[in-house]
Amino acid sequence: MIEKFLNDLLSQFGAGSKELIYLSVTPGVGLELIQIDPAIKTVKTYGHKPLEYNDSMREIANYDDFKTALEELFTDLNISPKCNIVLNLPMVHFGKIDLPLLLNDEGVTEAIISEVEQAYIFKRCEPVVSWYEASANSPSDTRTVFYSALQKPAIDKIKDILTEMGATLTGIEISLVSSLRGLLYSGLTEVAMEENSVWNLLIINSNGYSLVSLTGKDIVDYYEEPLALKTYELDEIYDAINASAQIALMNSPSNYLYVISETDLVSSEHLVSKVQFEGVVDFLENNSFRKREILPVSLNILPDQVMKISLESIGVAVSRICNYPVKFDFLGNKSGELTGSEAEETFSFHFNDKEIVLTETVMKKMSYAVAGILIIPALVALMTLPMLQKSSQAKLDKVNEKVKKLDDEISRLTEQASVSGSFVVKTEIEKVLKRNRTKLMAYSAIGESVPKNLWITYFNVKEDGKIDIKGMSENVEDIYVFFKNMKDYLTDSQLRLYKLEMQSESIDDAVVFTEPSFYEFEITNMSEGELNTSGTTAAKSTTAKPAEQNSTKVPNIEPKTTAKPVNALEPINIDSKSE
């Protein structure tokens, strides 16, 4: 539901969310598609298809095969091609260069491009470079920069294929960084990557080997040695690597060595048994020699694919959730990125395996909307405030006018009392309040006490607290409920059930119950003389007596809890039933 709300909200601004998919072009495996569940550090989606890679040109051999393999992966894993993709590619060129400290970023990029163009691969195609500045531990007049380069035509072909399928390429990673991030996330080099820990990473591939010197997670040096491993016999390969790597290791002293083999020509386990190194040595088989999985996998991944999951694919799959200090970006328009690109700047974040990409235009629209939400209520408040003040001032003036009138009346009465000595203001006010309070309580009691089948035909409250109520009901119980409720409300009124009679034209009508019978009643706290004097008492029937004089006892009936209010503030005469 939250995801749907977010999509609906973003669609209003011309943005949206897409599923985030991670791909890796891995020599020896092919094209891998992977997704990680970061909550449990488990591979939840995985598939791979064969894809030939040209090791000498360091490029995908056939891009039509790349498209076919990707379409098959989308179909097999039931993934929509309309997604965002982060792609890992084998490292083409990596290096280190020291440049003057005063050289700006644009100058650094130009210097790196000049250096990269000396490599044989980039003599026939334009490079795309990306770089970052190494952390400096001591003051210096130079800045140390690590850089990487890829073939621009290769990137353009991949982007065109993905665009044709409806996908969007949102990031490119290189295998060296993906491997380091995969080691960090899987915990295989947890001790080595602790701060200030000096160690070496030896990576064997079909073109030779690379030696990376690190302090914790930071790369401090890089060395690459090409070796034509396919020209050696099986045992000669290990001797050739050991002899060459031994010299490189002596130039990069450390107390920890980690060996990774990415080619089926070399077993890293067998290689570490031959390397002479004074310190801790560990290894990872990132090839067909692997005997155990790098990360746990979900049950929906087939067992024969588990051992195919490469370290690079894991590294690229956690590129957005695992923070690693070494970062390259080949798709932006900053230093070390695609030059001449006028692409709109974007901001992206992740939510439930989806990437939300906001362009500069969308963010402007959202900013305007947020500003409107904040400003419009303020403007409305400013516009309505004078009217509210005017209305409040009018009410205040009326209250002040009433207060003035009351003050004048109190002053007048006080003056009269002081002159005649026969009028006490406090006493008179208490009398008025008491009379009004008695009437108000009587009216309220009537409203709260009338049962459903009972009608009030006469109601009178005098200023001295005398009350007289007449009415009728279909049964005696409702009359007693009403009487009991009135006594409970008006505790000091000394009410009594003065009259209770059956309404009939003759004694015969009272005996023969052919129609519903009605009972008349009168509840009062007046005396007999007051009732006769006021004329509120009707002539008594010769066939009935007041309820208090009747020899028949009235049954003791518990009062009902429901009652209908009577919204009358003056004596009322009701001829129909209450709703």
Q: What gap in Å lies between CA 342 and CA 332, rounded to an integer?
A: 9
Sign (positive or negative) of CA dihedral 192, 193, 199, 202: positive
pLDDT given at position 549: 35
User: For the CA atoms of 119, 123, 126, 130, what is the dihedral angle to 10 degrees?
Assistant: 10
| pLDDT band of 278, cuts 50, 70, 90 | confident
* DSSP label at residue 146: E
Q: What is the mean pLDDT of residues 228-240?
A: 85
Share of the chain above pLDDT 70, in %: 76
From residue 162, how far is each of 52, 71, 89, 154, 320 by CA, in Å? 19, 10, 15, 13, 20
Q: What is the mean pLDDT of residues 317-326?
A: 91
Count CB neighbours of 351 within 10 A.
Answer: 13
Concatenated DSSP letters for 243-279? HHHHHHHHHS--SEEEEEE-STT--HHHHHTT---SS
| pLDDT band of 138, cuts 50, 70, 90 | low
Domain extent listing, the chain: 193-293, 424-579
pLDDT given at position 16: 54
User: For the CA atoms of 408, 414, 418, 419, what is the dihedral angle to 10 degrees?
Assistant: 50
The closest alpha carbon to 283, from 261, 312, 309, 305, belongs to 261
pLDDT given at position 395: 86
| pLDDT band of 307, cuts 50, 70, 90 | very high
Q: Is residue 509 predicted with pLDDT exceeding 70?
A: no
From residue 480, how far is each of 327, 496, 577 by CA, in Å? 90, 11, 18
Q: What gap in Å lies between CA 522 and CA 534, rounded to an integer?
A: 14
| Cα–chain center distance at 200 | 43
pLDDT given at position 557: 37
Produce one character per residue of 112-148: b if its CB has 16 or more CB atoms within 10 Å, e if not.
bbebbeeeebbeeeebbbbbbebeeeeeeeebebbbb
Q: What gap in Å lies between CA 288 and CA 290, rounded to an integer?
A: 5
Phi first, then psi: give them for residue 542, nearest 5 degrees: -75, -10
CATH code, 193-293: 3.30.420.40
pLDDT given at position 573: 39
Q: Is residue 423 predicted with pLDDT exceeding 70?
A: no
Q: What gap in Å lies between CA 152 and CA 169, rounded to an integer?
A: 14
pLDDT given at position 167: 95
* Segment (H or E) for 67: helix 63-76
| pLDDT band of 489, cuts 50, 70, 90 | confident
Beta strands in 398-494 (DSSP E): 454-461, 467-473
Q: Is residue 563 predicted with pLDDT exceeding 50?
A: no
The closest alpha carbon to 36, from 249, 410, 212, 297, belongs to 297
The closest alpha carbon to 202, from 290, 295, 135, 274, belongs to 274
The torsion region of residue 458 among left (phi > 0), alpha (psi -120 to 50) and beta comes to beta
| pLDDT band of 389, cuts 50, 70, 90 | confident
SS3 191: coil
Asked whether 518 and 473 are in contact (CB, 8 A), the reply is yes
pLDDT given at position 32: 97
pLDDT given at position 450: 84
The torsion region of residue 505 among left (phi > 0), alpha (psi -120 to 50) and beta comes to alpha
Phi first, then psi: give them for residue 40, nearest 5 degrees: -125, 10
pLDDT tens digits, residue range 395-418?
Answer: 888 888 889 888 888 888 877 766
Phi first, then psi: give them for residue 456, nearest 5 degrees: -95, 120
Q: Is residue 64 predicted with pLDDT exceeding 70?
A: yes
pLDDT tens digits, residue range 140-182?
Answer: 788 899 999 999 999 999 999 999 999 999 999 999 999 999 9
Q: Is residue 464 predicted with pLDDT exceeding 80?
A: no
This model's pTM is above 0.85: no
Q: What gap in Å lies between CA 134 and CA 67, rounded to an integer?
A: 37
Asked whether 356 and 6 are in contact (CB, 8 A), the reply is yes
Q: What is the mean pLDDT of residues 15-39?
A: 90
Q: What gap in Å lies between CA 155 and CA 177, rounded to an integer?
A: 18
Q: Is residue 535 predicted with pLDDT exceeding 70?
A: no
